[in-house]
Structure 1
Amino acid sequence: MALKIARRGQIPPFIVMDVLRAANERAAAGEDVLHLEIGQPCTGAPQGVIAAAKRALDGDLLGYTDAFGILPLRQRLAGHYRDQYGVAADPARIVATPGSSGGFILAFLAAFEPGDRVALAAPGYPAYRNILIALDIEPVEIPAGPETGYQPTPELLEKAREQGRIDGLIVASPANPTGTMLTPDALRDLAVYCHDEGIRLISDEIYHGIEYEQQATTALTYSDSAVVVNSFSKYFSMTGWRLGWLVLPEDLLRPVECLGQNLFINASTLAQHAACGAFDCREELDLNVERYRLNRDILLDALPKAGLTELSRADGAFYVYADVARHTNDSAEFCRRLLAETGVAITPGMDFDPLRGNRFVRLSFAGSTESVEDAAARIARFMR
């Protein structure tokens, strides 16, 4: 007799990982690949992180920590909010998590019941939608376009509420896949609207620090009820260390603590000790951001010349979201052909917007400048 497979595990794939697998298979066959599909810095952790990790390996048992993480890390994070944003964040409200992914799971479980409806902009990071589905929480995708910077607004939320209640809203600024950012006023308006309407705001701030025209604003500036999610993966260049954090409102502290104790026990102890050194490495990390800026400018100059003229603003993060509708109505096939014919790996928009993503692709410029220049030239030849 066939055994049952749980419905919650039958969620859509994270397509970018499928693209990465195809690119790696091409590389394993001896063909060259330029990786513009994956949102991962090409640099490793900064030297201060490596040094802190070595000290921990030499001098610490690396046993369990409190579910919320080691106090020195939470204190450094509180200092980060004070220094970067002028915001007081009590270390008691900060939680070290197994990556931002673990943070989202904890936040969603603590804040929402099965059957609750959580709004998010489309296009948006696909794992939001898929984690919600796996937890029996209904994602309510709000189609957003360039007129709002692909970001939600109170007006779009009002329109979504005509179809049913909204219990939560996920915002990301800078956003994946577009790189667009909310202005401080726009974030304030969303935060105030959500607080007044009893909607739990989840603010994804994992690309903070990677900005080009204006500094990102934290939701903590405007809301005591919002949940902030962040990670050491992007600006701090620590993807494989799998360490993130939450800043929680008071009412979610004990629920998240109990969930964390039972689901994860604690985030990686070694990664926590290592991350304490990350905040002393800003000069090194800001050089990475300058490289991203140069890479962004290369693509924003080259892609329109190649015929891809409708591009997201790319205010921050390391992505450009490009409309390819003038050339194809099948972005997945477009990406397959581009990889097969040029070795350039990019991601089809279906990952980020199931309804309109067939018209879009995402390009990541987190790699080396040489690889981005080479990729731009190959794309230009492909488009002729």
Structure 2
Amino acid sequence: MALKTGRGAAAPPFIVMDVITAANVRQAALPPGAPHVIRMEVGQPGTGAPAGAVAAVQAALAAGAPMGYTETFGRRSLRERIARHYAAWYGLALPMDRVAVTVGASGAFPLAFLAAFDPGDRVAMAAPFYPPYVNILTALGIEPVIIEAGADTRFQPTVAMLERLAPRPDGLIVASPCNPAGTMLHPQELADIAAWCHRNGVRLISDEIYHGLNYDSPLATAAALSPSAIVVNSFSKYFSMTGWRIGWLVLPDDLIRPVECLAQNLFISPPHIAQIAAEAAFDCTDELQANVARYRRSRDLLLAALPGAGFPRLSPAEGAFYLYADVSDRSNDAHDFCARMLAEAGVAASPGVDFDRMRGHHFVRFSYCGPEADMAEAAARLAHWR
């Protein structure tokens, strides 16, 4: 007799994780001395945690500091430091009480979705999008509403697109800089969207985990533009701390206690040791800005080299560390295209179908946060592969 499974058991895979597995298998099968697989499939910074963050953890462990539960929203010193970060970067006076430290941004999204929405609610986002948005919402019984955005709006939503939605959604997710296209909502565009959402009773969730990784356009935070918006951020990208699993939420007043109660039950508290590292990371500006400069150089190299390697249609890449390439002139099956590129050129990239289930068969995402030498070698391999 077959047992019942829950709705979450039907969640589709996050395809990039399968690409990681395939790249690992290929690398392990290579003979000694063979050219290594170049990893452009995942947003994994090529550098580890900043030296000051590692040193702070080493000092705490050497001193025998207890690593137990913290308050559910995290250590007060870290929350205060995050609040000061908003004053320094955005000129925003943010009360510490609105800051919730989370188990990565991945832990922040379910908290935000559960606190803000009910099963059956509708939450909009522009495609292409970060796949777990849809997968988590669906597992929670919340309906994703997909807005098809294109290169004409830098793959970002507009107020005009939102006005055409009928009925109006209960929520909207935006990401700036965004994954997979690396494009941004410019400050006035984000302000217009935030005002539209607040005016129309639409809960705005702003994914800002790539803040700090912006090259040509200024940043704006939804926390400064709307009293009802939820902001998600993380130490994984700009701070280069993916494996430490530490992020944060900036919450509107009406969701502070609801999110705290949910977090108490789902996570108890963020990892203590990661919080020590995260607080120290704020003082590692020189090292972090050197990482940004490296990403910029890799971006500029690829924007110059990839068109000649058979990838002439690339996203503007204003921020983050991704290029979204239209490969429709070479394939209508991005999954197969990426598999061949891995097998024949030794370059791992992510098929666009992970980010856009309708049009993604024609797109490939390249991540350029790996070593600079690898990014240059990737361009050379792809030119030869063409």
**TM-score class normalised by the smaller sequence:** over 0.9
The answer to whether 1:228 aligns with 2:231 is: yes
Distance in 2 (CA, whole Å) between partners of 1:183 and 1:193 is 15
Deviations 1:307-334, CA, capped at 9 Å, x for gaps? 2111100000000000000111111111
- Is the Cα contact below 8 Å between 1:123 and 1:144 reproduced in 2? yes
Deviations 1:79-119, CA, capped at 9 Å, x for gaps? 10000110011111100000001100100000000010000
| Partner SS state of residue 80, structure 1 | helix
| Partner SS state of residue 310, structure 1 | coil
Deviations 1:20-59, CA, capped at 9 Å, x for gaps? 0000001111262100001110100001100111222234
- Is the Cα contact below 8 Å between 1:52 and 1:275 reproduced in 2? no
Distance in 2 (CA, whole Å) between partners of 1:279 and 1:321 is 30
Distance in 1 (CA, whole Å) between partners of 2:385 and 2:123 is 40
Deviates more, 1:302-311 or 1:191-200: 302-311
Structure 1 residue aligned with 2:154: 149
- Is the Cα contact below 8 Å between 2:186 and 2:218 reproduced in 1? no
Superposed, 1:210-225 pairs within 5 Å as 210-225=213-228
Q: How far is 1:5 from its partner?
A: 2.1
- Is the Cα contact below 8 Å between 2:120 and 2:141 reproduced in 1? yes
- Is the Cα contact below 8 Å between 2:246 and 2:270 reproduced in 1? yes
Q: Match for 2:86: what amino acid?
A: Y
Return the match for 1:267 from 265, 270, 273. Answer: 270
Distance in 2 (CA, whole Å) between partners of 1:262 and 1:377 is 51
Q: Match for 1:317: what amino acid?
A: A
The answer to whether 1:81 aligns with 2:92 is: no
Superposed, 1:304-343 pairs within 5 Å as 304-343=307-346
TM-score w.r.t. the length of structure 1 is: 0.98
Structure 2 residue aligned with 1:365: 368
Distance in 2 (CA, whole Å) between partners of 1:274 and 1:304 is 40
- Is the Cα contact below 8 Å between 2:172 and 2:203 reproduced in 1? yes
| Partner SS state of residue 192, structure 1 | helix
The answer to whether 1:22 aligns with 2:22 is: yes
Structure 2 residue aligned with 1:3: 3
Structure 1 residue aligned with 2:108: 103
Structure 2 residue aligned with 1:54: 58
Deviations 1:154-173, CA, capped at 9 Å, x for gaps? 111122x22x3300000000
Structure 2 residue aligned with 1:13: 13
Deviates more, 1:27-36 or 1:288-297: 27-36
Q: How many residues align?
A: 381
Structure 2 residue aligned with 1:137: 142
Return the match for 1:38 from 38, 42, 46. Answer: 42
| Partner SS state of residue 276, structure 1 | helix
Distance in 2 (CA, whole Å) between partners of 1:89 and 1:62 is 28
- Is the Cα contact below 8 Å between 1:195 and 1:223 reproduced in 2? yes
C-alpha root-mean-square deviation of aligned residues, in Å? 0.9
Where do 5+ consecutive residues of structure 1 fail to align? none
Structure 1 residue aligned with 2:206: 203
The answer to whether 1:276 aligns with 2:279 is: yes
| Partner SS state of residue 237, structure 1 | coil
Where do 5+ consecutive residues of structure 2 fail to align? none
Superposed, 1:154-165 pairs within 5 Å as 154-159=159-164, 161-162=165-166, 164-165=167-168
Distance in 1 (CA, whole Å) between partners of 2:59 and 2:198 is 43
Structure 2 residue aligned with 1:70: 75
The answer to whether 1:175 aligns with 2:178 is: yes
| Partner SS state of residue 277, structure 1 | helix
Structure 2 residue aligned with 1:348: 351
Q: Match for 2:135: what amino acid?
A: N
Q: How far is 1:188 from its partner?
A: 0.3
Q: How far is 1:181 from its partner?
A: 0.5
- Is the Cα contact below 8 Å between 2:125 and 2:146 reproduced in 1? yes
Distance in 2 (CA, whole Å) between partners of 1:141 and 1:53 is 42
